[in-house]
Chains A and B, each alone.
Chain A
Amino acid sequence: MNVTKEVLIESSLSKIYQAFYNFKHWIRALSDVLDVKIFYDDGYHQEFSMTVSRPGGEETVKGIRFCEPDKTIELFQTQPPPLFKKMMGTWRFSNDNKGGVIVSASREFEILDDDKQDSHLNDIKKMLSSYLDKNLNLFKRYIENDFNN
């Protein structure tokens, strides 16, 4: 199952990439990110855990990211969120030729209990889609208004 969302951000490609690459910006841009622990980061590869606040309580995921500067950040989670069996995804960054950058975020996932009804899967897809959209727009606001290196 896939979900893709995108947003146009009025800033430079390298600045936008840095915002998504560097986890300190995640904590600043997204109020529901409570904590990030970085286990490894060599500039291209990252291993991390992230704790977020959700309506049901705190959730911690663990993931690996392969980063190609100013182009893509690819993710998979060795410890996905509750309800999910598998979670992976990509952020792609591309100039829109009008001075802005299109950030496209996609997620590919499988849920636990995938024998449940389609409505259950659709609810989860909607929820994930909503988080993805919200986060992209919060990053947009953060980068366009108060982003500092």
Chain B
Amino acid sequence: MTLIISVETTLNTSVKKASSLFWDFKSWQNIWSPMQAVEVLYDDGLHQEVIMTVERDGQAETNRTIRFLRENGDIVFFSPEAPPMMTIHRGEWKFYNDAGKCRVKAMREFEINDRYFNVNISLAPEQFIKNFQGRLKNILDKFQSYFDRGGAYV
């Protein structure tokens, strides 16, 4: 069964600047601390293939991700090999102009990998989903803080 979660917030910047920053994986490491490493395999300005190492639920996780940048600044992506808790993982970052600021919506579409949760019984799927939602909110909060500081890293 495909599940969808989404969170959104307002960033104190323009759609263009927000989209550019979300596209730039090198900046992620300075803004969102669970992003431990990024290797960009391909980037032509509109398409990216990256391998990133992120911390999730106390574990380091390495994922390959493919991203497409849309003309309006939206970024859509998928993971050809989903993280271990999921069998499918894809999503998007959508950016809207909101009275001169940027409304950003993070959406994830995924399927739970039952085999993972049958073995790793210390984490229930319900808790994983809740954590996932919190994780997305945390990402948006960190980007929000970045723009509130006038675009300075902590």
Contact = CB atoms under 8 A, between A and B. Distances in A.
Interface string A28-49: 0000000000011010110100
A108 to B, nearest CB: 9
B44 A74 contact: no
- Which range contains the number of B residues in contact with the other chain? 10 to 19
A28 to B, nearest CB: 26
Looking at chain A's contact residues, is the secondary structure mostly helix, strand, loop, or mixed? strand
B44 A86 contact: yes
Given A42-B90, A64-B66, A66-B68, A88 B46 contact: yes
A88 B41 CA distance: 16
B132 interface: no
A66 B75 CA distance: 12
A45 to B, nearest CB: 4
Contacts of B42: 76, 78
A64 B47 CA distance: 9
Interface in B58-113: 66, 68, 76, 78, 80, 88, 90
9 contacts: A45-B78, A45-B90, A64-B49, A66-B68, A66-B76, A76-B42, A76-B46, A78-B42, A78-B49
Interface of B: 41-42, 44, 46-47, 49, 66, 68, 76, 78, 80, 88, 90
